[in-house]
A and B are shown apart, each in its own frame.
Chain A
Amino acid sequence: MGLLKYTIYRLLQAIPVLIGISIITFVLANLAPGDPVRLMLQGQQVDEELVRAIEQRYGLDQPLHVRYWNYMTGLVQGDLGYSIHRDRPVSDLMVERAGPTLLLVVSAYVFAIVTAIPLGIIAAKRRNKPTDHVSRIVALVGVSTPSFWIGIMLIIIFAVQLGWLPSAGLVYPWQPPEAAGYDNHLQLWAATIEHLLLPMIALGTLQMATLMRVERTQMIDSLQQEYVKLARAYGVPERTILRKHAFRSAQLPIITIIGLNLSTALGGAVLIETVFAINGMGRLFIEAIQQLDYQLIMGITMVLGAIFVIGVVITDISYAYIDPRVTYGERE
C-alpha cells in the first residue's frame, strides 16, 4: 500500500469509532431523566403548549431510533444539530470556538515537545548523574500536579504578584490587528504570545513530563542497542550517535504517545480555558453543560472525539513514515 492509500484506509478505520462516539453521546443525552426541553427550561414557567411546539419543531417527539437516524444523517452532511438555547447551528459555534482551543492545545504540544525531548535525551545520556535526577524530579512533579492548579499558581505569580503577563483571555493571530486594538501584526503576535504563555505552560506541563519520561527510557534503551555499539566501533562521534543513530528509533513511541495523549490534552483544555477565561470549545462545553444545551453538548463531544481520531490517524501515518518496518496496514 502506498502512503495515500494507507491514509484513506486509516481514515476509514476511524469511522466505526466516530459512529461509536455518536452513539455514546446520543445515548447519554437521551438517558437523561425528563425530556431535554423541560430540562432546558428548568426553573421557568413551563407552558405545555410551548414544550410540545418546541419538541415538534426539533423532532423530539419522534421515537429514539428515528431521532438517532435524523441525527446521523445530519452529521454526515456536516450538520451537528441546532442549539435551541443559543438559537444557532452547532456547527457555527464550533467553527467559532475551535480556533482558540486548537491554538492552545497545539502550542502546549509545541512547548512540551521542545522541552521534553532535549531534556529526556540529556537525562538518558547522563543517566544517574545530577542532571538526570533533576529531570526525573521535574517529570515526577509534572505528572503529579493538576494542570489547573499550575495555571492558578502561574496567574498568582506572573499576573497578580509580578504583573508581567495577562491573567485572562486570548488574542488570536488570525484576526485583523485593528479589530483587536493593535496597530500592526507584530503587536498582534506579541500580544498573542503574551496571552498564550501561561495557559500553554499550564496545559503543556503534564505532556512535557510524560514525554520526557518516555524519551528518557527510550533513549536509554536505544543507546544500549547493538547498532549504537556498531556506530561507536566505526568511530562515529558521540554527538552524531545521540542525534542520529539512537535518536530516530527512540522517537517512535513518542509519536504514538503524542497521539494518544491528545484526549487528555483536550480534556485539560476544558480546565485551562476555565482558569484563564479563554473562549474556546472547553468553556463552551461547560456553558452548554450548565445550560443543559444537549445538542451543543453532543456536538462538542463529537468534534472533540473527531479531533482525537484525526490526531491518532496523523500520528499513525507519521509513524509509518518514520519506521520503514511498518508496511502500511499491518504492523509487525
Chain B
Amino acid sequence: MSSEPLLRVENLKTQFFTESGTVRAVDGISFDVHEGEIVGLVGESGAGKSVASMSLLRLVDDPGEIVGGEISYRGETIFGLEEGPDGELREREEMLSESEMRERIRGREIAVIFQDPMETLNPVFTVGGQLREFIELNRDLPSDEAKAQAIDMLREVGIPDPKERYEEYPHQFSGGMRQRVLIAMALACEPNLIIADEPTTALDVTVEGQILDLVDDLQDRYDTSFIWVTHDMGVVAEICDRVNVMYLGEIVEQAPVDELFYETNHPYTNALLDSMPRPDRTVEELDPIEGVMPEAINPPSGCRFHPRCPDAREVCTRVHPEPLEVDRADGYPHRAACVKHDVFDVGYDESVPLEAGDEAETGVGETGTEANVDSDSPLEEDQASTDGGESER
C-alpha cells in the first residue's frame, strides 16, 4: 500500500537470558500494520507470538530483553539501536523514553487484550473502577466523564445493565463477559492499534463466535487496527486481513489472508491448515503436524522447520531461509521462507530428500557443526541470511 504503515517492525529480536542459556524467543521478524487492518500473528504455542506482541509495547518480562531491530509507530521510534562511536550498540536518541512510552503509547495509542479474562481483571476492584481508571489516564478525562464513557462502552460491547454491572466485581462476571469488559477497556481508551493476544482461546466456541462478531463489528465502526495473535487458523480466516505465520521465533510466511489460504507457499502453513478442522473434511482426514516444536533455546540448524517438514531435503539442514517475496496479491507481497521456491536458488531441486523421521531425531538441538557449514556456504550469502544461527557464537 502506498501510505506509510501505522506500525512497522523490522528485524525485531527479543531474547531471554536464562540460567540454561539464551532463548531467542523472537528472532528477527519484520511486518507492518496499516490503518484499519487486522493483521494476524499465527503459530503454535511457544512460537514467540506473545513475546513479539509485548515487545511492541516494550513490556518484556525479566529476564527477557529486546536486543535488536526497529519498531516504529507513526514515525516515532518505539525501539531502535545505533552503533556508538566505539562500535557498541546503544539506544537511538529519538527512541521514546520509558515515561514517554507510558504516557504517550501504552493504552493511549496501543492497547492490549490479554488471553485469560479470568486472570486479567483485578479481583479486588470493581470492573467499572478499573475501566474508569484506564479511561481517565489515557484520555485525560475527569472522573465523572470517564465513568459515563465506561458505562457507554460496557453497553457498546453488549453487557446488559451496564450501570449496575459497573459497580460489580470481576468474580461476578462470566468468562465471556469479562472478555467483553477487556475489549471495552481497549476500545474506550481510543487507541489506534489494539494487540489482541489470543483473546478467545480461553473461551468456549459459542462465546468465541460472539466475541469475534463483536470485534468485527466494532472494528468497522471505530476503524481501529488490530494485531490478532492466535494459534487458530479458523479465527484467522474469519477475522484477519493479512497474516504472518510464525515458527520458532521467525516469520515463515506472510500474505493477505485469502492468498495465504489458497496459495499457501510454506510447508508449515500447509501443515497448520491441514490440522485445522473444516466442514468439508472428516476427522479422519485431519492431519496433525508431526512432532513437537523444538525449544527456542537450541533451534535446529538451517531451516528451523526441517525436522518436521514433509518436503525437507538435505539442503534444508544447511541453509537458513529468510522470508522472500514469492508472489504478490492485492498490492501486498506474499513472502515465504522456504528454499523450495525458485527465488532462493540454493539447489533445492538437486538436493536429496530427507527420510521423514530420521532427521527429526538428530536435527533438533544441533547447531554446532552444521551451522558452520551453513555460514561458510557462499550460496546463501546473497540469497538468505544466516543471522538466526550466528548471532550467538
Q: Is A58 an interface position by the 8 A CB rule?
A: no
| A225-B119, A323-B124 known; A230+B138 contact, CB < 8 A | no
Name the A residues within 8 Å of B121 (CB-CB): 227, 230
Assess whether A233 is in contact with B57, with CB atoms less than 8 Å apart: yes
Which residue of B has the minimal Cβ distance to A325?
A: B171
Name the B residues within 8 Å of A324 (CB-CB): 123-124, 126, 169, 171
Q: Is A131 an interface position by the 8 A CB rule?
A: no
Complex: A230 Cα to B107 Cα, angstroms: 10
Assess whether A230 is in contact with B125, with CB atoms less than 8 Å apart: no
Residues B229-253 near A (CB distance < 8 A): none
Complex: A225 Cα to B57 Cα, angstroms: 18
Assess whether B105 is in contact with A245, with CB atoms less than 8 Å apart: no
Assess whether B171 is in contact with A235, with CB atoms less than 8 Å apart: no
Q: Is B81 an interface position by the 8 A CB rule?
A: no
Which residue of B has the minimal Cβ distance to A227?
A: B122
Name the A residues within 8 Å of B111 (CB-CB): 233-234
Residues B43-81 near A (CB distance < 8 A): 54, 57, 59, 61
Name the A residues within 8 Å of B134 (CB-CB): 234, 236
Assess whether B120 is in contact with A248, with CB atoms less than 8 Å apart: no
Assess whether A234 is in contact with B189, with CB atoms less than 8 Å apart: yes
* A235 contact from B107, B124, B169, Cβ within 8 A: B107
**Closest approach, in angstroms, between the C-beta of A131 and any C-beta of chain B?**
17
Please report the total number of A residues contacting B with Cβ < 8 Å. Answer: 20
Q: Is A126 an interface position by the 8 A CB rule?
A: no
Q: Is A226 an interface position by the 8 A CB rule?
A: yes
Assess whether A230 is in contact with B123, with CB atoms less than 8 Å apart: no
Which residue of B has the minimal Cβ distance to A228?
A: B122
Assess whether A234 is in contact with B106, with CB atoms less than 8 Å apart: yes
**Closest approach, in angstroms, between the C-beta of A42 and any C-beta of chain B?**
58
Name the A residues within 8 Å of B306 (CB-CB): none
Complex: A234 Cα to B182 Cα, angstroms: 12
Name the A residues within 8 Å of B54 (CB-CB): 233
Assess whether B102 is in contact with A237, with CB atoms less than 8 Å apart: yes
Q: Is A13 an interface position by the 8 A CB rule?
A: no
Q: Is A322 an interface position by the 8 A CB rule?
A: yes
Complex: A237 Cα to B108 Cα, angstroms: 13
Q: Is B137 an interface position by the 8 A CB rule?
A: yes
Assess whether B138 is in contact with A235, with CB atoms less than 8 Å apart: yes
Complex: A235 Cα to B135 Cα, angstroms: 11
Name the A residues within 8 Å of B105 (CB-CB): 235
Which residue of B has the minimal Cβ distance to A237?
A: B102
* A248 contact from B107, B108, B124, B126, Cβ within 8 A: B124
Name the B residues within 8 Å of A237 (CB-CB): 102
Assess whether B112 is in contact with A233, with CB atoms less than 8 Å apart: yes
Assess whether B108 is in contact with A235, with CB atoms less than 8 Å apart: yes
SS of A interface (majority): helix
**Closest approach, in angstroms, between the C-beta of A139 and any C-beta of chain B?**
23
Complex: A227 Cα to B111 Cα, angstroms: 14
Name the A residues within 8 Å of B119 (CB-CB): 225-227
Name the A residues within 8 Å of B169 (CB-CB): 324-325
Which residue of B has the minimal Cβ distance to A234?
A: B107
Q: Is A5 an interface position by the 8 A CB rule?
A: no
Assess whether A232 is in contact with B125, with CB atoms less than 8 Å apart: no
Q: Is B348 an interface position by the 8 A CB rule?
A: no
Q: Is B390 an interface position by the 8 A CB rule?
A: no
Q: Is A229 an interface position by the 8 A CB rule?
A: yes
**Closest approach, in angstroms, between the C-beta of A122 and any C-beta of chain B?**
17
Assess whether B137 is in contact with A235, with CB atoms less than 8 Å apart: yes
* A233 contact from B59, B103, B122, Cβ within 8 A: B59
Complex: A87 Cα to B189 Cα, angstroms: 74
Bits for A313-330, please: 1 = Cβ < 8 Å to B, else 0. Answer: 000000000111100000
Assess whether A236 is in contact with B123, with CB atoms less than 8 Å apart: no
**Closest approach, in angstroms, between the C-beta of A330 and any C-beta of chain B?**
13
Complex: A229 Cα to B123 Cα, angstroms: 14
Residues B104-120 near A (CB distance < 8 A): 105-108, 111-112, 114, 116, 119-120
Complex: A227 Cα to B138 Cα, angstroms: 17
Complex: A252 Cα to B122 Cα, angstroms: 13
Q: Is A249 an interface position by the 8 A CB rule?
A: yes
| A233-B106, A325-B171 known; A249+B114 contact, CB < 8 A | no
Name the A residues within 8 Å of B185 (CB-CB): 234
Complex: A245 Cα to B59 Cα, angstroms: 17
Assess whether A226 is in contact with B116, with CB atoms less than 8 Å apart: yes
Assess whether A325 is in contact with B120, with CB atoms less than 8 Å apart: no
Complex: A229 Cα to B106 Cα, angstroms: 12
Residues B155-201 near A (CB distance < 8 A): 169, 171, 182, 185, 189
Complex: A115 Cα to B111 Cα, angstroms: 37
| A324-B169, A324-B171, A325-B171 known; A232+B124 contact, CB < 8 A | no
Most interface-central of A235, A249, A323, A324 (chain B CB within 10 A): A235
Residues A224-266 near B (CB distance < 8 A): 225-227, 229-237, 245, 248-249, 252
* A232 contact from B59, B126, B138, B171, Cβ within 8 A: B59
Complex: A226 Cα to B120 Cα, angstroms: 5
Complex: A234 Cα to B138 Cα, angstroms: 8
Bits for B127-144, please: 1 = Cβ < 8 Å to A, else 0. Answer: 000000110011000000
| A249-B124, A324-B124, A325-B171 known; A230+B103 contact, CB < 8 A | no
Assess whether A249 is in contact with B123, with CB atoms less than 8 Å apart: yes
Assess whether A227 is in contact with B137, with CB atoms less than 8 Å apart: no
Assess whether B122 is in contact with A245, with CB atoms less than 8 Å apart: yes
**Closest approach, in angstroms, between the C-beta of B378 and any C-beta of chain A?**
45
Complex: A237 Cα to B100 Cα, angstroms: 11
Complex: A252 Cα to B106 Cα, angstroms: 30
Name the B residues within 8 Å of A225 (CB-CB): 119, 122
Which residue of A has the minimal Cβ distance to B186?
A: A234
Complex: A227 Cα to B124 Cα, angstroms: 11
> What are 8 residue pairs bridging A and B, where the CB atoms are less than 8 Å apart in the complex?
A225-B122, A226-B120, A227-B120, A230-B121, A235-B102, A236-B133, A252-B124, A323-B123
- What are the 5 closest A-B residue pairs judged by CB atoms, nearest first? A234-B107, A235-B106, A226-B119, A324-B169, A235-B107
Given A235-B103, A248-B125, A324-B126, list of 18 further CB < 8 A pairs?
A: A225-B119, A226-B114, A226-B119, A227-B120, A227-B121, A229-B114, A229-B120, A230-B120, A232-B59, A233-B106, A234-B112, A235-B102, A235-B108, A236-B102, A236-B137, A245-B122, A252-B124, A325-B171
A residues near B (Cβ < 8 Å) are: 225-227, 229-237, 245, 248-249, 252, 322-325
